[in-house]
């Protein structure tokens, strides 16, 4: 069928093949999503509708208390055969996979992950390996990766990535979700707020690089992010309506990635910052804050850079001179210094992508000069950084780099060099192309150097 001209409710995008004006065919394999009050009551109907009847639930002690017990009661009442394994220790490693294998009934035809983080990851992997489909019963909504198709498992104490499977159905009972810890709610919201900067990055790349673009998917994600932003201040009082909207937004963001076939609609420079921090923290043996929390801090930074750019005249002749005098060797040495043991991967990536090469950069500068009006307009459409920061503060969530363990030096390296973690074009590369990344980064850093301002003046 033809893709809709205007965004429709999430359910209308599931398990349907779309022909799209962007030239791609879109398909998301997720079959069912139920989010709302008493959504768990619909579990039996969902199981029957998709043709299953003998389920094996996977929970840990905490998620068993939060939702697993209720799931078992509901399934028992409806006459569906169900067994549950409540894991004692929740590391995603060989021992846990073995425990599941021992206890899984041979005749079960469906797995259900009761939980969002490790439990969901583990079930995605286990489901893939045992050839059995699975559902997710969410106990929190901290990020949009529910439907990711890889899972990272500890093998011999080393984190290793394996192919996994996406769920057929996702259930989010808002009475359960609203009781999730505050930092998890704020992290989910943060991952969603990042969609503004990531969509802006995508559109910048369309103007500057002629990158492929799907207006239908971009609009779908943006409409949903705007809806959540409008009421997000109510998340602080655990308003079930807003918590449901955040959960739905995160599922939709995952669906949009499936529809498009990659993460372009979900991940831009705010995610590159998060990837970079994960890498550096791992090198330093420090535990980073949750993904969505990092993304929200990255989003505020990206918005501040966009604001700084809006206020500045751009000198294209200077940009061209910088492109002509690009020193690859100096750049490589800098990568060794900034990325340490991860530098080789970064060098290999750039060798393939060549995104810093002079020829391509000059072409992009030409395109920018020609389309500067449109670029400015795009930047003006972004939400104000102060608004987003206040929102996070009202949820007692971090919005400033130092609140998540990023000192000034790491912040500087982030703004200048995190763009190298992926070849994807973002505002950071655009500023670098224009030879003003350093200058605008210093402006942003200087703002953070001051004492926190009263909320109203941000
Ligand atoms: Zn994310
Ligand atoms: Zn499309």
User: pLDDT by residue (tens digit) across 393-442?
Assistant: 988 899 999 999 999 999 999 999 999 999 999 999 999 999 999 999 99
Sequence-distant (≥ 6) Cβ neighbours of residue 210 within 8 angstroms:
367
Provide the whole-model pTM.
0.91
C-alpha of residue 328 to centroid of ligand 2, in Å: 37
Tell me which of 49-53, 174-178, 231-235 is least confident. 231-235
Distances (CA, A) of 172 to 220, 245, 249: 21, 11, 12
C-alpha of residue 264 to centroid of ligand 2, in Å: 12
Which ligand has the nearest atom to the CA of 266? 1
User: How do the domains of the chain map onto residue ranges?
Assistant: 31-177, 182-457
Which ligand has the nearest atom to the CA of 5? 2
C-alpha of residue 30 to centroid of ligand 1, in Å: 19
C-alpha of residue 219 to centroid of ligand 2, in Å: 10
pLDDT band, residue 162 (cuts 50/70/90) = confident
Give the burial class of 306: count Cβ atoms within 10 A of its Cβ; 0-12 exposed, 13-18 middle, 19 or more buried: buried
**Same-fold call for 31-177 versus 182-457:** no
Q: Enumerate the H helices of 340-400 as residue ranges.
A: 343-353, 358-370, 372-380, 385-394
Which ligand has the nearest atom to the CA of 19? 2
Instruction: Give the strand pairing for 81-87 and 169-173.
Output: unpaired
Region 82-102 average pLDDT: 88
- How many angstroms separate the most distant Cα atoms in the chain? 73
C-alpha of residue 254 to centroid of ligand 2, in Å: 15
Those residues whose beta carbon sits under 5 angstroms from the ion ligand 2 are 20, 22, 24, 214, 216
Residue with tokens 């990535």: 161
C-alpha to C-alpha distance for 260 and 327, rounded to whole angstroms:
36
Which ligand has the nearest atom to the CA of 259? 2
C-alpha of residue 34 to centroid of ligand 2, in Å: 25
Q: What is the pLDDT of residue 95?
A: 87
C-alpha of residue 268 to centroid of ligand 1, in Å: 9
Which ligand has the nearest atom to the CA of 13? 2
C-alpha of residue 49 to centroid of ligand 1, in Å: 31
Q: Which residues of 254-287 are buried (b: 16+ CB within 10 A; e: fewer)?
A: bbbbbbbeebbbbbbbbbbbbbbbebbbeeeeee
Which ligand has the nearest atom to the CA of 292? 1
The SS3 assignment for 397 reads: coil
Q: Are 140 and 178 in contact (CB under 8 A)?
A: no
Q: Are 142 and 117 in contact (CB under 8 A)?
A: yes
C-alpha of residue 293 to centroid of ligand 1, in Å: 9
Which ligand has the nearest atom to the CA of 219? 2
Give the burial class of 12: count Cβ atoms within 10 A of its Cβ; 0-12 exposed, 13-18 middle, 19 or more buried: exposed
C-alpha of residue 53 to centroid of ligand 1, in Å: 34
Sequence-distant (≥ 6) Cβ neighbours of residue 262 within 8 angstroms:
none
pLDDT in tens, 227-277: 999 998 888 888 999 999 999 999 999 899 889 988 899 999 999 999 999
| pLDDT cut 90: percent of the chain above it | 78
Task: Look at the domain 182-457 and name its fold.
Answer: Dehydroquinate synthase-like, alpha domain (1.20.1090)
Token pair, residue 103, equals: 């206890």
Which ligand has the nearest atom to the CA of 216? 2
C-alpha of residue 213 to centroid of ligand 2, in Å: 7
Which ligand has the nearest atom to the CA of 193? 1
Q: Enumerate the H helices of 1-91 as residue ranges.
A: 43-49, 61-63, 69-78
C-alpha of residue 392 to centroid of ligand 1, in Å: 16
C-alpha of residue 27 to centroid of ligand 2, in Å: 10
Which ligand has the nearest atom to the CA of 290? 1
| CATH of the structural domain 31-177, one choice from 3.40.50.1970, 2.60.110.10, 3.90.1170.50, 3.10.150.10 | 3.40.50.1970
Region 307-312 average pLDDT: 95
C-alpha of residue 220 to centroid of ligand 2, in Å: 11
Among 195, 326, 206, 305, CA closest to 250: 195
Which ligand has the nearest atom to the CA of 2? 2
- Give yes or no for residue 109 having a pLDDT over 70: yes
Residue with tokens 């104490």: 157
* Radius of gyration, alpha carbons of the chain: 23
The SS3 assignment for 152 reads: strand
């Amino acid at each position: 069928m033809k893709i809709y001209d205007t965004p429709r409710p999430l359910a209308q995008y599931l398990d349907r093949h779309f022909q799209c004006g962007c030239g791609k065919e879109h398909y998301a394999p997720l079959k069912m999503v139920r989010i709302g009050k008493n959504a768990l009551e619909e579990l039996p109907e969902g199981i029957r509708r998709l043709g299953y009847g003998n389920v094996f639930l996977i929970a840990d002690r905490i998620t068993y208390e939060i939702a697993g017990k209720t799931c078992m009661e509901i399934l028992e009442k409806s006459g569906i055969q169900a067994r549950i394994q409540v894991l004692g220790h929740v590391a995603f490693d060989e021992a846990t996979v073995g425990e599941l294998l021992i206890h899984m009934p041979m005749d079960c035809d469906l797995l259900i992950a009761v939980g969002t983080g490790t439990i969901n990851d583990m079930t995605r992997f286990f489901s893939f390996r045992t050839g059995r489909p699975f559902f997710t019963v969410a106990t929190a909504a901290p990020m949009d990766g529910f439907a990711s198709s890889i899972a990272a498992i500890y093998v011999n104490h080393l984190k290793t990535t394996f192919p996994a499977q996406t769920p057929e159905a996702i259930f989010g009972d808002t009475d359960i979700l609203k009781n999730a810890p505050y930092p998890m709610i704020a992290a989910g919201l943060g991952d969603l707020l990042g969609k503004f900067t990531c969509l802006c990055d995508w559109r910048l790349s369309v103007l500057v690089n002629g990158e492929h673009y799907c207006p239908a998917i971009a609009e779908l994600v943006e409409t949903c992010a705007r809806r959540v932003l409008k009421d997000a201040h109510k998340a602080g009082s655990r308003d079930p309506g807003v918590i449901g909207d955040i959960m739905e937004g995160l599922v939709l963001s995952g669906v949009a990635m499936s529809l498009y076939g990659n993460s372009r609609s979900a991940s831009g420079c705010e995610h590159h910052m998060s990837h970079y921090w994960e890498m550096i923290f791992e090198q330093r043996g420090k535990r980073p804050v949750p993904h969505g929390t990092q993304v929200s801090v990255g989003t505020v930074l990206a918005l501040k850079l966009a604001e700084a750019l809006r206020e500045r005249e751009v000198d294209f002749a200077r940009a061209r001179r910088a492109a002509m005098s690009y020193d690859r060797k100096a750049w490589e040495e800098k990568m060794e210094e900034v990325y340490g043991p991860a530098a080789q991967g970064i060098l290999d990536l750039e060798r393939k992508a060549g995104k810093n090469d002079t020829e391509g950069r000059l072409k992009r500068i030409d395109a920018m000069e020609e389309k500067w009006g449109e670029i400015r307009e795009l930047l003006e459409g972004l939400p104000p950084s102060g608004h987003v920061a206040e929102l996070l503060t009202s949820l007692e969530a971090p919005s400033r780099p130092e609140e998540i363990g990023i000192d000034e030096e790491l912040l500087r390296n982030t703004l200048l060099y995190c763009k190298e973690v992926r070849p994807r074009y973002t505002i950071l590369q655009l500023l670098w192309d224009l030879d003003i990344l350093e200058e605008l980064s210093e402006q942003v850093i200087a703002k953070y150097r001051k004492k926190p301002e009263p909320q109203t003046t941000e």
